[in-house]
Amino acid sequence: MKNILLAVTGGIAAYKAIDLTSKLTQSGYTVRVMLTENAQQFVTPLAFQAISRNHVYTDTFDEKDVSEIQHITLADWADAVIVAPATANTISKLANGLADNIVTSTLLATTAPVFIAPAMNVHMLEHPSIVKNMSQLRNYGYKFIAPGEGYLACGYVAKGRMEEPITILTIIDDYFKEQSNPQTFALQGKNVLVTAGPTVEKVDAVRYFTNRSSGKMGYALAEAARNLGANVILVSGETSLSQPSGVEFIQISSAEEMFQAVKERMDDMDMIIKAAAVADYTPVKTVNNKMKKQDGNLELTFKRTTDILKYLGEHKDKQYLVGFAAETDNVETYAMGKLKKKNADVIVANHVANQEIGFRSSDNEVEMFFANGDRVPLAKESKQKIAFKILNEITSRWED
C-alpha cells in the first residue's frame, strides 16, 4: 500500500488529524506523522504513535537514525503528503520557501504530491495575503482540500473548518485510483476555474430575477477537471447541489459578484470554463425593504451586466477559454457568432428548448465549436459523462 506522510500544524483542528491517521491506517496506508511545535500544544506525539504504529517526528535535529538525514528521508519515503490542519502560518511559510521546522523542511524537499487542508478563521482565510499565498502554492502544484462551513473555535459560523477526515480519505483514495490510468493526468498541475449555476439579481428584500439553471453541468465539469488532476476553483451561483469535494468553492449571488470572483483569479488560471447562466441585465435601482404593491403597473429599468466571457476573451493571456451557449433556436449560428465575438477557444452549445437536455435535466447533448474550425458533436449522455468528453476533446488539442 502507499506511504502517507501527515503533517499536523498548530490549530485546534489538530484533533481531527488523530481521526485522519486512524482512517488512513485502517484503509491500509502506511502513515508517518510530523508535528510542529505549535501542534503539540493541541495534541501529543504519543496519540499518533499509538495509532500509526510508527515514530512521530517533531524536531528537524532529533535524528531517529544517525545514518540518515531525517527530513530528506521522510520526503523521499512519501507517496503523498497531507498537511492537515494547515494553518495560515504554515501556508505562508511554504509559499515563501521558509524551512524553520520539521514540516516546512520536509515539504520543501519532497517531490510527492502535497494535499493541503486549511483550517482557520474565515477572515484569516479571506485575507489578501493568505489568498495570494494559496494561489502561489497552487501554481507550485500543491492540491488544496477546501475547508467547509460550520461552527469555528472562535465562535463564528462560517467557512474555515478543516474538511472532515472521511472526505480527505476519499480524496486520497481517488487520487491513487486515478494514478493507475494515464488519461487521468491530462490536466495534472493545471489550474482550472469553472463557473456554474444561475445568478440572482435583486429587486427588493424579497424579490429577484434569476433563471432556470441548476448548475449540474458546471459542477460535473469541476469534478471531471479535478479527477483529471487539475487544481479546481468552482465559482457557483445559488444551487441545491452539494459542494464537490477536493475543489475550492466560492459562493456568489449576483452577476457582478461572479465577475469580480473570476477577474481576481483569472491571472493564475490555465483554463477557464464559463458554464454559468449569468444574467445579461440587472435592475438599475434596488431597495432594501419590500416594495408594497400600488395601483397601476410597475415599471423597472434594467442595465447591462458585465459580459464576463467577453472580458475574459479580451484580457486572456495563457488561459484556454471555454464558453457555453444555451440556445433555443439557430444554435449553430449563435454559437459560431459567440465564438468569434468573445474570442473564446471553444464554445459548447446545447439546445435548451429540449427539456430532456435542457436546464435542470440530468442529461445533455452538445456540439463543440473550436476556434481552429473543428466541430465535435457529443450525443446525449449523463452530464458527468459529457463533462469528461468535453475535457477530453479540449486536452487533446491543448498544445494547439
Q: Which residues participate in catalysis according to the annotation?
A: 154
* Residue 129 CB neighbour total at 10 angstroms: 12
Give, in degrees to the nearest 5, the angle at Cα 248 between 22 and 123: 95
Q: Is 359 among the annotated ligand-binding positions?
A: no
Q: Is 62 among the annotated ligand-binding positions?
A: no
**Is the peptide bond prior to 165 cis by the omega test (within 30 degrees of 0)?**
no
Write down the number of H helices and E strands in the chain: 13, 20
Q: Is 293 among the annotated ligand-binding positions?
A: no
Q: Which residue has the cell 483569472?
A: 266
Q: Which residue has the cell 415599471?
A: 299
Q: Which three-class secondary structure state does DSSP give residue 282?
A: strand
What does the DSSP 8-state code read for residue 358? S
What does the DSSP 8-state code read for residue 340? H
Give me 223's grid cell: 469534478
- 394 vs 183, 231, 251, 371, CA distance in Å? 13, 16, 26, 12
Q: Which residue has the cell 486520497?
A: 172
Q: Is 290 among the annotated ligand-binding positions?
A: yes
Q: How far apart are CA 56 and CA 24, in angstroms?
A: 15
Q: Is 310 among the annotated ligand-binding positions?
A: no
- 120 vs 10, 16, 156, 231, 356, CA distance in Å? 10, 14, 11, 21, 43
Residues contributing to the annotated binding site for CTP? 280, 290, 324, 338, 342
Residue numbers in the known binding site are 280, 290, 324, 338, 342
